[in-house]
Chain A
């Protein structure tokens, strides 16, 4: 589904992403972890085309992503969420969801401006679709509330719901559960599992909550200083000495290896 090959991004003297290669297969949930500054969000920004790589290749669904603009990515079936909330605060929950399927609106300017039946019918159909999604998440009561007044966890949930509106093939989630209560985390975890199973959706997610990532992901990629430090199943990664060292330091690795504490 997503193939990253030998990808590098240089900011002045800093190699934020350094010859990174990995794949995400269809229907797979992959976690991207690593200490702060490891290059995780830069990698996301490269994939969603806000940044152009210094070298390397990104392929999604057999298409070269580097030939596309940021605003064309959604149409290929790849949607991202943002670490610091990509919702539009002064729009209602419903309007935010409608923006999630922006590229699929086919009415042209004149049909919209003159309120012609095609435009109205399309708008109504999309609204019903958004309402159905809100119902399935049991938050239909919030549809006309402004996003800016909602609790943080609910906003994160709505951002994922919005990403789902375009019927994507793959989601990029940047810290979907940061700052959430454990009940909210559980809800997001179930949601991601459900949509991934039902729609054979691939997910690439960044998070610092290790138990969330380990329980949810099929496979984990560990980044450190812009390089892939390790990849494998959650168990493999947890046992990997290089990973333990990157997270906890040399001494901790020694402790883990010798089994003392």
Chain B
């Protein structure tokens, strides 16, 4: 089944997204920006894990690399360099994706998961050790993006930039998925030998998947640094990698809307919960139980994730179905 996002729906979504920061309090604009960065990281991971079947438990490493490249660049050259730092962070991080591609050529699923886990751990250790560069515990203060020398209003500017990139990169991901690339990814995921017999070069397409995935995640990292205004090594730990992985499993593996739903859900859920539960002690306990419980419930009752469950439910309601599937 194809869930393509068609013209009118793009426009509808775009209008709402652009209006939101002017309607919501600043704190929620900030949270939505972070959720937007997470959408890009989840998209990147879903391309690799959901579509191409290459499990990564170390994507926080790519988030960190993108974040530090962009942060170091704007911190030393000024906020006006943000526009160059962002794509550069994406491209360089994309190329570092090839580090994981090498083990992926030789290792099966579980072993690759361990190798990527190691990659994530190694990146965070390196960042903590090279404190000359990363200013380990205090972190790097990231300037506000500027046009020329005029700084923008961080909160709203970063929101709109993030939203714009989410639209652009969702569209790119959609182009990739519904092309020979996406088909080759799925072929490699489901039957490597048959894929090869069809003329699909495993090394080439695994390389594409890793570079593309790392590129998306690197851009997410660069955005993250500039949204928060500070980048600290301790943020990019195993927990973050697992969080990203949970997003695509909850939202729906190998679906583009699933990455968006999963990222929004897991990014905003804790914030919504904070509105209800004001005591910090209770909050930690309730969030832990909710998060774990949700994962279990989704895995048991919604094998195709939240998005998959919505699409299935929509089969019974033709109007909903038209919205989700477009046919």
Contact = CB atoms under 8 A, between A and B. Distances in A.
Interface of A: 48, 50, 69-75, 79-80, 82, 86-91, 95, 98-100, 102-103, 105, 107, 109, 112-115, 119, 123, 144, 146, 162, 166
B266 interface: no
Contacts, number: 91
B199 A114 contact: no
Contacts of B175: 112-115, 119
Interface stretch (B151-159, B186-194, B306-314): B186-194
B171 A115 contact: yes
Given A71-B202, A100-B198, A112-B179, A86 B191 contact: yes
Given A98-B180, A112-B179, A114-B172, A88 B186 contact: yes
A127 B175 CA distance: 15
* Interface magnitude class on chain B: 20 to 34
Contact of B181 (A50, A70, A112): A112
A79 B208 contact: no
A77 to B, nearest CB: 11
B132 to A, nearest CB: 37
Given A90-B190, A114-B172, A115-B171, A71 B201 contact: yes
B186 A112 contact: no
A74 B195 CA distance: 11
Interface string B146-187: 000000000000000000000000011001101111011011
B197 A73 contact: yes
B89 interface: no
B179 A88 contact: no
Nearest to B204: A71
B316 to A, nearest CB: 19
B200 interface: yes
A43 to B, nearest CB: 15
Given A86-B191, A98-B180, A102-B200, A109 B171 contact: no
A48 B194 CA distance: 11
B196 interface: yes
Nearest to A105: B180
Contacts of B183: 91, 95, 98-99, 102
Contacts of B208: 109
Nearest to A50: B193
Given A50-B193, A88-B186, A88-B191, A166 B199 contact: yes
